[in-house]
Amino acid sequence: MTSQTTLLADDASCPASRSLWQLGWQRLRRDRIGLTALWVVLAFVLLALAGWLGLAGSHWRDEVAKPNMPPALFKDYGPATVELTAADIDAAQQHNTSIADASAATGMSAEDDPLAADMAAAQTQAANAAPLAVTPANDSLLVLGSDSRGRDVLQKVIQGTATSLLVGLSGALLAILIGTLLGALSGYFGRRTDDLLMWFYSVFTSVPDMLLLLAFSAVMSRGIDTVIMVMALTSWTGTYRLMRAEFMKHKGREYVQAADAIGASHRSRMFRHILPNVTHLLLVQFSLLTVALIKYEAILSFLGFGVGISQTSWGAMLAEAPAELLQGYWWQMAAVTLFMSLLVTAFSMLTDSLRDALDPKVK
Amino acid sequence: MLAYILRRLWQMVPTLFGVMLLLFILFNWVGGDPSYILAGKSFSAETLANIRHQLGLDKSLPEQFLIFVQQVLTLDFGTSWSTQQPVADILGSRIGPSLTLALPMLLVSLLLSVIIAAIVAYVRGSLTDRLVTLICTLAMSVSALVYIIAGQYWLAHKLGWFPILGWSDSLATNLWLYVPLPLLLGLVVSLAPDIRFYRSCFVEEMNHDYVRTARAKGLSEQVIMLKHVMRNALIPVVTSLMMSLPYLFLGALLLERFFGIPGMGNEVLNAVDRSDFPVIKAITIYVALATMLFNLLADIVYKLIDPRVQLK
């Protein structure tokens, strides 16, 4: 009697068979490091979303404070700056106007000077514009300080996060799409298709990534969409290799033969039957690529071949760092380094955890 | 063996053709008409036509491609658009500085990372191991740019231990004076990923049964590590080393830029900056050739150090 009830209870508690994704999620939830990394990455994605939607960091171009103001916490650690009083500025302006008197400078009378009328017009225009150009001196402290033009480093770094993540995520996504499509065709059909695509692959791998990136950016216009495209075109090769091997392995398996027997088309066998069985590899590949592309983007933007000047990114901010460091303004570089290492560390740890969690051999 | 090498060399022909096609599409088709760049500010229809004729742009695309193929086969890429120097001369003068920095860097980095990785793998699971792995992970998360900017500022500018940048004509001066700082910073960037990768190679080998057998028959730990494990673990190390050799020709791009070293990497960046297509094309072809040859060499070395490998 009792044995039967326990048997029944066992039956009821016996869980339904779970998919790899459910198992993976369960394993990831038990992995404290992996879970923390996941939350950090999600927080960055949210921050980047806010940046794209203009909710945060959209005022990064505004000159809101004095140039080169140190961060609030370290306000005594910045280099000493000479405060200009209003009297100094007035004196400098007086000096300027006396020199700017064009006729006097050229030693010609106003009638002889062909540019006199233009100069006068320009001077009145400048006088009109001058009151607008003066920004109210803002003494309020900024959390991360300000850059050489008085822009808020916090706003800039948020906008930079948005740009860098956009480039990293969409570049990796595109690269995965190209790699998976070509890899699937190559591994599934084999023969001529495989030969052709392998040739294509060998062409792209025989030139180092960085050189290929530079060659592409030499002929294309600068801008964020170019950077994404260039990165996708140069980094699909790893995914291709992986997917080609997987599709070769899977196409002979029984479940694919069964799909063939019930009349599934090639496309359906490739993308409805095989693809879901290899997606977990793609997820790991995707996060690996994202990290790599974020690093590449920083270097490209630093060298001036990345995002345009109307946008900012971590690389573009780092490009300002050498000149600032020389004057002792270290906080812009520190802010970028902090944000970037946090994201990259979290992403790398998440990748490791994902790889373990989604490994079908582990129970 | 000879038949294998010849077959592999033959297989490089279509790949090289593909690289040429890719470059041609990029620079002659996507890149658009360069004659406007070359003509500068004061161009007339006549000068434009003249430039187009000189570059062969007035010919049809297939004919232009043939010209490019001819250039690659004779390894004569004409003259640079920005300096009018022959491209071969430019590259000839750039390869020396690149190798002066990259070769010592490769050797020191390889030696250090293999030794550290072997030690860390030997004490795997210990506090030292976990600490080194953690430091490597953290070090890898910081952009190479930050190391170089901060290193150049602190070690050269603030502390004055090294010159900030520069290069001379004498090899000895370069090695003593100008190479150490870029080399050190290059090491900082490359050590962390290398140690992690090599450590995993060692750890994987140490879990094999033959290690237990060697231990069971009473061999000393030193012999096991140096004679048994090392030989097997070095196979992936050698492969990755051979794969990184083509980068010697490309030079350390960022380091050369920061420290004013007139090497290949700096030349590539300048060429991209000035839209100097012949130089970019030439460097890409050379690096692609080097990559293919070193891939072949890697497979041959692979065979030499691991007799189980069959070359097909």
Output the 3-class SS for chain B.
Answer: CHHHHHHHHHHHHHHHHHHHHHHHHHHHHHCCCCHHHHHCCCCCHHHHHHHHHHHCCCCCHHHHHHHHHHHHHHCCCCECCCCCCEHHHHHHHHHHHHHHHHHHHHHHHHHHHHHHHHHHHHCCCCHHHHHHHHHHHHHHHCCHHHHHHHHHHHHHHHCCCCCCCCCCCCHHHHHHHHCHHHHHHHHHHHHHHHHHHHHHHHHHHHCCHHHHHHHHCCCCHHHHHHHHHHHHHHHHHHHHHHHHCHHHHHCCHHHHHHCCCCCHHHHHHHHHHCCCHHHHHHHHHHHHHHHHHHHHHHHHHHHHHCCCCCCC
- Of A325, A341, A342, Cβ closest to residue B149: A325
Model pLDDT, residue A138: 54
Model pLDDT, residue B207: 83
Q: Is A84 helix (H, G, I), strand (E, B) or coil?
A: coil
Digit-coded pLDDT (tens) for A62-110: 777 676 777 766 666 666 555 556 666 677 666 655 544 544 555 555 5
Q: Rounded to an integer, what distance in angstroms lies between the CA atom of residue A320 and that of residue A313?
A: 11
Q: Which of B23, B159, B268, B272 would best serve as a mutation to test chain A binding (most A beta carbons within 10 A)?
A: B272
Model pLDDT, residue A172: 93
- Of B21, B140, B250, Cβ closest to residue A211: B250
Digit-coded pLDDT (tens) for B105-141: 888 988 999 889 888 888 888 888 888 888 888 888 8
Q: Rounded to an integer, what distance in angstroms lies between the CA atom of residue B198 and that of residue B119?
A: 11
Q: Rounded to an integer, what distance in angstroms lies between the CA atom of residue B120 and that of residue A51?
A: 42
Rounded to the nearest angstrom, the minimum Cα separation between B277 and chain A is: 8
Q: What number does CATH give the domain A20-73+145-357?
A: 1.10.3720.10
What value, to the nearest 5°, has the Cα angle with vertex B258 and ends B257 and B264? 25
Rounded to the nearest angstrom, the minimum Cα separation between A332 and chain B is: 11
Closest CA to A215 of B118, B15, B19: B19
Q: Rounded to an integer, what distance in angstroms lies between the CA atom of residue B294 and that of residue B246?
A: 7
Q: Which of B141, B159, B274, B284 would best serve as a mutation to test chain A binding (most A beta carbons within 10 A)?
A: B141
Q: Rounded to an integer, what distance in angstroms lies between the CA atom of residue A79 and that of residue A328?
A: 6
Model pLDDT, residue B249: 67
Q: DSSP letter at A138?
A: -
Q: Is A63 helix (H, G, I), strand (E, B) or coil?
A: strand
Contacts of B153 in chain A (CB under 8 A): 322, 325-326
- Of B143, B153, B280, Cβ closest to residue A215: B280
**Residue numbers in chain A where pLDDT is lower than 70:** 1-17, 57, 65, 67, 72-89, 92-114, 127-141, 360-363
Q: Which of B145, B152, B264 would best serve as a mutation to test chain A binding (most A beta carbons within 10 A)?
A: B145
Asked whether the predicted pLDDT for residue B92 surpasses 70, the reply is yes
Contacts of A217 in chain B (CB under 8 A): 272
Domain range list for chain A = 20-73+145-357, 87-135
CA distances from A92 to A82, A87, A121, A276, B142 (A): 15, 9, 22, 71, 44
Contacts of B283 in chain A (CB under 8 A): 211
Q: CATH second-level architecture of B88-305?
A: Orthogonal Bundle (1.10)
Q: Rounded to an integer, what distance in angstroms lies between the CA atom of residue A186 and that of residue B23?
A: 24
Digit-coded pLDDT (tens) for B260-273: 888 888 888 888 88
Q: Is A119 helix (H, G, I), strand (E, B) or coil?
A: helix
The whole-chain average pLDDT of chain B stands at: 82
Model pLDDT, residue A111: 62
Inter-residue contact B248 to B98 (CB < 8 Å): yes
Count CA within 13 A, CB hemisphere, residue A164. Answer: 34
Q: Is A339 on the interface with B (CB under 8 A)?
A: no
Q: Rounded to an integer, what distance in angstroms lies between the CA atom of residue A92 and that of residue B135?
A: 53
Cβ distance A341 to B254 less than 8 Å, yes or no, reads: no
Model pLDDT, residue A96: 56
Cβ distance B138 to A345 less than 8 Å, yes or no, reads: yes
CA distances from B266 to A122, A234, B95, B219, B271 (A): 43, 21, 11, 51, 9
Q: Identify any residues that bridge with A146 across adjacent strands, giving them in sequence order.
A: A152
Closest CA to A46 of A35, A57, A60: A57
Domain range list for chain B = 18-74, 88-305
Mean pLDDT of B162-169: 78
Task: Rank A251-260, B26-35, B55-64 by mean pLDDT and report only the highest.
Answer: A251-260
What's the complex ipTM?
0.81
Angle (deg, nearest 10), helices B127-141 and B180-206 = 130
- Of B145, B253, B271, Cβ closest to residue A210: B253
Q: Rounded to an integer, what distance in angstroms lies between the CA atom of residue B127 and that of residue B194?
A: 20
Inter-residue contact B203 to B126 (CB < 8 Å): no
Asked whether the predicted pLDDT for residue B41 surpasses 70, the reply is no
CA distances from B72 to B20, B75, B80, B134 (A): 8, 5, 15, 47
Q: Rounded to an integer, what distance in angstroms lies between the CA atom of residue B126 and that of residue B110?
A: 24
Exposed, middle or buried, B56 (CB in 10 Å: 0-12/13-18/19+)? middle
Cβ distance A202 to B27 less than 8 Å, yes or no, reads: no
Inter-residue contact B286 to B91 (CB < 8 Å): yes
